[in-house]
């Protein structure tokens, strides 16, 4: 029998081991206090970095539960964690976890979808406005003493195509509608018959052919398949603005580069990339505004996500003890 006395002086009999593998977790938060009151933290990632496969295998060796970020829970990682019963993901996407391997082991995979809607929608809008108004470029040039100006572009009146009309996609559409955009969308699982003015495109190709601004809010596809590739972009005859705050795997990097070079893609705002951290050729294009996968990372939303991830664990922990 293992007996642990937690910070509140409570005796935990045979406590479950929790490995916190996400690259950062606020150990001064109320969420952390609730966690250590019910379980023992056997590993805490204090590196500020995504753990490698080897490091994850080591961190999860004795874990019953893990709190995960976007680090890769491959089959090898899951096989190296014989006691693992719950993976609680801080965030919404589950494509970094081998769900088949988890299901085979009977591991419950949980996420925190509600906390990401507002911050990701706001970041999408911020990237779009930064592209249209050329804000980063002006910021850097003024510091170099260059005060020349070029005309910007209005957002109002633009035709926006939204790929993936889930909770985040709907929030983005609502923002843009208020700002005077016309809204179209492609989502095979959604049909908003009761929504006046939002047009449903029959295909991604049709959306790309008609929209002036395209913003992606789709889930990762099976096998990390692309939904924006050379074939899709071949139907574009004008320069569109592309925003991606969903998943880097959804856009083929080579096709995006080709589109930027020949003008079919006028500019892009990207928070996600095929490989992260990203240091590839897209960063050499001045018309690409990039952020390092931080759309959901606000003080408020991060606190909410961490609490939601811990509550997911506490809701199930009684079944394991």
**Of the residues 247, 302, 304, 308, which is catalytic?**
247
**Of the residues 30, 103, 104, 276, which is catalytic?**
276
State yes or no: is 293 an active-site residue.
yes
Residue positions counted in the chain: 321
Distance, in Å, from the CA atom of 215 to the CA atom of 242, rounded to the nearest integer, reads 6
What is the layout of strands, in order, in the sheet containing 65-68?
Answer: 40-44, 17-20, 65-68, 86-89, 108-110
Distance, in Å, from the CA atom of 2 to the CA atom of 14, rounded to the nearest integer, reads 5
State yes or no: is 247 an active-site residue.
yes
Contact status, residue 320 vs residue 299, Cβ threshold 8 Å: no
- Give the HSE-up count for residue 190: Cα atoms under 13 Å, Cβ half-sphere: 20
- Give the HSE-up count for residue 98: Cα atoms under 13 Å, Cβ half-sphere: 14
Contacts of 12 (CB under 8 A, 6+ apart): 3, 4, 5, 6, 38, 39, 40
**Of the residues 50, 293, 304, 306, which is catalytic?**
293
The total of other beta-carbon atoms located within 10 Å of residue 143's CB is 8
Largest CA distance in the chain: 73
Closest to 208 in 3D by CA, of 231, 192, 225? 231
Tokens at 259, concatenated: 């589109």
Prior bond of 277 cis (ω within 30°): yes
| Alpha-carbon dihedral sign for residues 201, 203, 209, 213 | positive
Which active-site residues does the annotation give? 247, 276, 293
């Amino acid at each position: 029998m293992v007996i642990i006395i937690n910070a509140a002086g409570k005796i935990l009999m045979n406590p479950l081991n929790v490995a916190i593998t996400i690259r950062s977790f606020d150990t001064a938060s109320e969420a952390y206090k609730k966690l250590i009151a019910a379980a023992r933290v056997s590993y805490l990632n204090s590196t500020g970095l995504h753990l490698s496969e080897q490091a994850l295998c080591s961190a999860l060796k004795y874990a019953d539960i893990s709190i995960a970020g976007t680090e890769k829970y491959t089959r090898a990682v899951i096989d190296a964690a014989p006691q693992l019963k719950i993976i609680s993901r801080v965030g919404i996407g589950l494509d970094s976890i081998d769900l088949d391997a988890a299901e085979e082991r009977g591991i419950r995979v949980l996420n925190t979808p509600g906390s990401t809607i507002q911050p990701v929608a706001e970041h999408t809008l911020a990237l779009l406005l930064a592209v249209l108004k050329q804000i980063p470029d002006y910021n850097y040039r003024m510091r170099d003493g260059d005060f020349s100006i070029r005309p910007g572009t209005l957002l109002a009146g633009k035709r926006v195509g939204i790929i993936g009309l889930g909770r985040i996609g709907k929030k983005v559409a609502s923002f843009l509608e208020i700002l005077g955009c016309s809204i179209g969308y492609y989502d095979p699982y959604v049909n908003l018959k009761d929504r006046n003015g939002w047009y449903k495109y029959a295909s991604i190709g049709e959306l790309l052919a008609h929209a002036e601004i395209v913003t992606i809010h789709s889930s990762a596809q099976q096998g990390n398949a692309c939904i924006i590739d050379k074939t899709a972009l071949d139907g574009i005859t004008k320069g569109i603005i592309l925003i991606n705050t969903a998943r880097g795997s959804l856009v083929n990097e080579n096709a995006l580069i080709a589109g930027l070079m020949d003008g079919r893609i006028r500019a892009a705002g990207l928070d996600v990339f095929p490989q992260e951290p990203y240091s590839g050729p897209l960063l050499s294009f001045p018309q690409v505004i990039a952020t390092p996968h931080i759309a959901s990372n606000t003080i408020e939303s991060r606190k909410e996500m961490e609490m939601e991830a811990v509550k997911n664990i506490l809701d199930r922990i009684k079944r394991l003890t």
